Chain A
Amino acid sequence: MAGHSAQLDAKALWGGKESPFQTSYGKLMMWFFLVSDALTFTGLLIAYGFTRHDAQDAWPIGEQTFNSMPFLGHGYPLLYVALMTFILIVSSVTMVLAVEAGHRMDRKGVTKWMIATIIGGFFFLGSQAWEWSHFIHGSEFGKIELADGSMAIVKGHFGEIKNFTVIESGKTHKVGAVIKEDLMHQFQHAAEQGHLENGTIRLADGAVAKINKAHDHDMKLIIKRDGKINKVGGKEITGKAAEKQYYQALYTGEKNRVTYGANMKQNEYGPQQYAQFFFFITGFHGFHVFSGVIINILILLGVIAGTYHKRGHYEMVEKTGLYWHFVDLVWVFVFTFFYLL
């Protein structure tokens, strides 16, 4: 908020008596730090763009990957990330209101808006934790390698697994026993290990059980890599044909035909680099948000203790404010380049 002495002539300005920037050392250094940090994020996003650009159609589309809402389930493309963006923008607004209150030496106002900002920060961090957890655990269908070697991601409503009926005894489960617990977890584990064959599952203790499962609805296979010509493509298979091909591949009894969720080596959404970029970019940003919240809490304690009031100005709030806005700014770009494009 400079501009108080705009009438200075250039000689006085550059001659040593007055700073040409007319801003304090601390604020200027915060700006320089932010420029360097902005360059780090720019580098990350450009590396992402580069990889995405040469992966072409094999790359997942944001609205296909991020379409869940807490408590509501699937079918809400991008809505949750938009909500996260909104939360961060609002917390940026409360921060700028805290700075404004600081300029009026309104200690109560600064305290109130700082608390609001910190709550917004925690909301954002919680949302990000939810999103990561969702991304890591993945969908019920996973990504599947079809009989002809094509890689497909799968959309639709997964029919609930009702129970497993044991038809061949193992160490603990005897013939005729009905297993009703931990079904989804056992099913996915067996699928990854190639322990599913013709509608049966081989359990951990060696027993073989029949899978009693409701029908799926609206299944859609989106081919990310065509096995025959080994080329990327966006072909889609729907309806009965999709179900037939999916279960044919799932029940072959081969290892690694299906991938659930994401880790550093593989993921169900697209190429390996996709999850790596997701973890690194949103993780690095989340780390910034986390440190921002910590810094905000420390400054809030200073405000409550009256440190800045005694000092005669609330510039510390302004400086942390700059950092907090920067975190919001970065998220605006991550939102566009990672989720929208």
Chain B
Amino acid sequence: MERDDLIEYSLHAHHDEAKGKQIRSKIYKVTILLTLITIVEVFIGSSIKQSSDYWTAVKIIFILLTLLKAGYIVMVFMHLGDEKKYMRNVILIPYFIFVLFLIFIALWEAAAVGSVWETMWQ
């Protein structure tokens, strides 16, 4: 028996050639952007040494550029930006709460372990 209470959401996702052209041009723009970011990262990585005074700044730049790249991949390539707000939140919020806590606790513990090593070697 055919059910009529199920909604085929995937059928709503179709679009015509005009819309497709618009979407493709956005995809190409994002591709160029991601490539540029990677080139910049490699350029900085191979030109500034880790012993340099700027290394902390470089690290922060790397992490920010990575998050930017990740943001474009998730929002444009994975279409999360086009999904409903509720769905976006259900995916992103629990993940970020857990990950931020994990990063905090790992850095805290690593600093403690590191200081123990320091005293042991003296």
Contacts and interface: CB of A to CB of B under 8 A. Distances in A.
B113 to A, nearest CB: 5
Residue of A38, A42, A62, A340 ringed by the most chain B CB atoms within 10 A? A340
Interface string B75-94: 01111001110110011001
Given A1-B82, A31-B91, A104 B111 contact: no
Contacts of B39: 82
Given A21-B83, A22-B84, A230-B121, A336 B9 contact: no
Contacts, number: 171
Tell me the interface secondary structure of chain B in the complex: helix
B15, B65, B69 interface centre (most CB from chain A within 10 Å):
B69
B76 to A, nearest CB: 8
A313 B13 CA distance: 8
Interface string A32-59: 1001001100110011011001101000
A51 to B, nearest CB: 8
B105 to A, nearest CB: 9
Interface residues of B, number: 62
Contact of B109 (A5, A50, A97): A50
Nearest to A48: B106
Among B39, B84, B103, B114, the most chain A Cβ lie within 10 Å of the Cβ of: B84
A315 B12 contact: no
Nearest to A316: B10
A313 B113 contact: no
Contact of B16 (A104, A313, A336): A104
A56 B121 CA distance: 13
Identify whether the interface residues of A are mostly helix, strand, loop, or mixed.
helix
Given A2-B84, A230-B121, A231-B121, A46 B73 contact: no
A248 to B, nearest CB: 26
A313 B11 contact: yes
Contacts of A86: 35, 38
A23 interface: yes
B78 A77 contact: no
11 contacts: A20-B86, A21-B86, A22-B87, A23-B9, A23-B84, A42-B99, A54-B117, A89-B35, A93-B27, A335-B66, A336-B62
Interface of B: 7-17, 20, 23-24, 27-28, 31, 34-35, 38-39, 41-42, 45-46, 50-51, 59, 62-63, 65-66, 69-70, 73-74, 76-79, 82-84, 86-87, 90-91, 94-95, 98-99, 102-103, 106-107, 109-111, 113-114, 117, 121
The list of the 7 closest CB pairs from A to B, nearest first, reads A53-B110, A315-B10, A21-B87, A1-B13, A54-B114, A336-B66, A82-B42
